Chains A and B, each alone.
Chain A
């Protein structure tokens, strides 16, 4: 921490000295005006960092615009063309052949097992029906390459058809709108605007004016460069993300094509054993939805790309030739005409560049929506990239806000001291430099180690913002993105819980900008208070958080509340989705009593419970838990015993169970004889809960 701080201070002091002498020439002071010279020298402490900040913006802006102009469009076009090329899949027929042979050899082994089992009467497999399944399986395995590649071809043809026929996109291999003109215009505007960077040094050195108005203007100049940079970075990232989705589509489809024989094998032989052996994508139930999703994702993206092109064309025509004239005179009434003119010039420039960039941004937003509809990990990756850009933008704007606050505080101190330009130069120096410098450099040195996960360039600005968060309530929410210390996160969560209760903490957990550490602390608090709502647990964003490194710490605790959601998460020990029994077997009676009714209503959860756990709910559960358990049990009976019971009231449930008593009893007997321990456990659960319903221990009033 100290090393970084010392290094930074050295660089800062060196820059101050190095730039002071040549910059003196830029000071607009008469040689006899000592006060002006002194004031100018004092304000250098602000001018130099702002100059470097602006220089960084210019550099990033030029690089981003050149990338957007020259590199991005051809790369994206190539990636989309590659993604929609059918010929890519043919070379993988050899690898597919190996998997096919493996799948066929498995069929032979299964045939052998079925034959032996039937001969020795170990288990009845209903030979005729099983043979038909085997035959279907073998045919599908053998033709899986042709079937799969044909479906991919249809997907590609349909994607191009939708693009070309409905939106005029993709003709002649050109998928993107002509963004070149916009980038070129922006680049010219940025380079012309570069001359304004020297205004940072030439602007009036009058201390009073500097801290009340001029500081604002030079910050505006520096921010304008960053705005150029971020707008073009956002558009470029979105376009590249679109291309990457098509590229990853190829990767996914190749993998799914290669393993298709195994997926078709599990389709033909829908036995529990086969499903157990091949989980995830290898299983038909996992493979087929994933395959369809990726084959036809191109159509969805093409529709959004088409919409983006149409928006781009329409808005380009709308904004062509239009200019915006900004009038700062009302906001700065009673100020020097030169300050108002400067403000008009800067704000107009930003507004007009925004105007010319509107078509590209609108088109990018349309593509952004399309790309984030991509399945699973792509959506997460794209959101991550765009989230990082948003975070950087927040940091830059926040840093500028902090600098403004520092300036304003200094000015306020000076006014309070009644300092005049010359007479109170010493007092002003103390007030201005102490107050402004305290915010600017003091907190910078103090907080550097806390910013482990931020890019180096933004750490100073971000840390300054951290220092002022307590003083600016409205700044708290966006700055939640910057809380990376667990202790700070814990304090923020506690404060929110005190002020707004569980709902407030839920907002933190749901917030797209809150840092992972802060979200993690939020989840911990809600779990501790037993106030994690079902709506939050069911939300896609929360489940995505639970799959992250920080969120996975709470995955099991959350799944203990909602066992029904277990299959949506991967068990790190088996690398397959969790089964309800994986979670339930680890549950203590105290955990069981917390299972949510929405989980208990699911038959897989009831059937995974052991009789003692069901008894815990019956004896110590809430009314809604008991009702849910009865309903889950009824659904379990429908599946296991093919018995439909009425769960509208406890009495009706009892009567309908007595009516179907023989069917339920024979199911219990059948399951008890099974060699599988899970079946025996299920039999005991059906028996125990059934008895508790009939003897009225399981009632809900």
Chain B
């Protein structure tokens, strides 16, 4: 697997991918304002600090923080499945599936870019100006 070493932080498109994965596996909310579930959770908090804690503990934010750690070199991508299993209480199989998907769709963009470049049209073959087309 070739990792994209240029990447230092998550782009909005990476976060789109992550939000889609979190939603598909039913890991919790990915939107905050206008979301009744988040509203209810935060209304139960007694202090502003408690609200920060609740948001930080949402699976979506937890995974994102972990991915940022990995990108900044403080964590390893290999530990992602064990992190998901321990912190989100997921079965090992699901955690590995999610980790694999994250690796492929967020961290392996360099190989994808290569593909995109290769898809560009190549130079058309030169016309033989001495030969008239047969109609």
Size bracket of the B interface: 20 to 34
5 example contacts (A-B, Cβ-Cβ < 8 A) are as follows A618-B12, A658-B52, A695-B19, A695-B31, A695-B60
Interface residue SS majority, chain B: helix
Footprint of A on B, CB under 8 Å? 8-10, 12-13, 15, 19, 30-34, 39, 42-43, 48-49, 51-52, 55, 60-61, 64
Q: For the complex, what is the distance from the CA of A686 to the CA of B13, rounded to whole Å?
A: 21
Q: How far is the CB of A105 from chain B (nearest CB, A)?
A: 45
Residues of B within 8 A of A90 (CB): none
Query: Closest A-chain residue to B16, C-beta based?
Result: A697
Residues A695 and B30 in contact in the complex (CB < 8 Å), given A659-B48, A662-B42, A662-B43? yes
Query: Closest B-chain residue to A661, C-beta based?
Result: B42
Residues of A within 8 A of B13 (CB): 619
- Is B39's CB under 8 angstroms from A665's CB? yes
Which residues of chain A (649-694) have a CB below 8 Å from chain B? 655, 658-662, 664-665, 668, 686-687, 690-692, 694
Residues A690 and B33 in contact in the complex (CB < 8 Å), given A655-B52, A659-B52, A662-B42? yes
Q: For the complex, what is the distance from the CA of A655 to the CA of B49, rounded to whole Å?
A: 9
Residues of B within 8 A of A690 (CB): 32-33
Query: Closest B-chain residue to A695, C-beta based?
Result: B15
- Is A696's CB under 8 angstroms from B39's CB? no
Query: Closest B-chain residue to A668, C-beta based?
Result: B33
Residues of A within 8 A of B64 (CB): 695-696
Query: Closest B-chain residue to A690, C-beta based?
Result: B33
A28 on interface, CB distance cutoff 8 Å = no
Q: How far is the CB of B34 from chain A (nearest CB, A)?
A: 5
Residues of B within 8 A of A659 (CB): 48-49, 51-52
Residues of B within 8 A of A695 (CB): 15, 19, 30-32, 60-61, 64
A701 on interface, CB distance cutoff 8 Å = yes
Residues A664 and B42 in contact in the complex (CB < 8 Å), given A658-B52, A695-B15, A695-B19? no
Residues of B within 8 A of A692 (CB): 12
Q: How far is the CB of B46 from chain A (nearest CB, A)?
A: 12
Residues of A within 8 A of B48 (CB): 658-660
Q: For the complex, what is the distance from the CA of A696 to the CA of B13, rounded to whole Å?
A: 11
- Residue of B13, B19, B49, B52 with highest tally of chain A CB at under 10 A: B52
Q: For the complex, what is the distance from the CA of A677 to the CA of B32, rounded to whole Å?
A: 23
Q: What is the total number of residues of chain A having a CB less than 8 Å from a CB of chain B?
A: 22
- Is B10's CB under 8 angstroms from A691's CB? no
Residues A687 and B34 in contact in the complex (CB < 8 Å), given A659-B52, A695-B60? yes
- Is B33's CB under 8 angstroms from A665's CB? yes
Residues A691 and B12 in contact in the complex (CB < 8 Å), given A655-B52, A658-B52, A662-B42? no
Residues of B within 8 A of A668 (CB): 33-34
Q: For the complex, what is the distance from the CA of A658 to the CA of B32, rounded to whole Å?
A: 9
Interface code A624-661, partner B: CB below 8 Å = 1, 0 otherwise? 00000000000000000000000000000001001111
Nearest 10 CB-CB pairings of A with B: A659-B48, A697-B12, A687-B33, A690-B33, A694-B32, A619-B12, A658-B55, A687-B34, A658-B51, A658-B52
A699 on interface, CB distance cutoff 8 Å = yes
Q: For the complex, what is the distance from the CA of A655 to the CA of B54, rounded to whole Å?
A: 11
- Residue of B33, B42, B64 with highest tally of chain A CB at under 10 A: B33
Query: Closest B-chain residue to A683, C-beta based?
Result: B34
Residues of B within 8 A of A664 (CB): 33
Query: Closest A-chain residue to B47, C-beta based?
Result: A659
Residues of B within 8 A of A660 (CB): 48
Q: For the complex, what is the distance from the CA of A662 to the CA of B12, rounded to whole Å?
A: 26
Residues A661 and B51 in contact in the complex (CB < 8 Å), given A694-B32, A695-B19? yes
Q: How far is the CB of A67 from chain B (nearest CB, A)?
A: 70
Residues of A within 8 A of B19 (CB): 695
- Is A691's CB under 8 angstroms from B33's CB? yes
Q: How far is the CB of B25 from chain A (nearest CB, A)?
A: 17
Residues of A within 8 A of B31 (CB): 691, 695
Residues of B within 8 A of A655 (CB): 52
Q: For the complex, what is the distance from the CA of A163 to the CA of B64, rounded to whole Å?
A: 72
Residues of A within 8 A of B32 (CB): 661, 690-691, 694-695
Q: How far is the CB of B19 from chain A (nearest CB, A)?
A: 7
- Residue of A619, A658, A692 with highest tally of chain B CB at under 10 A: A658
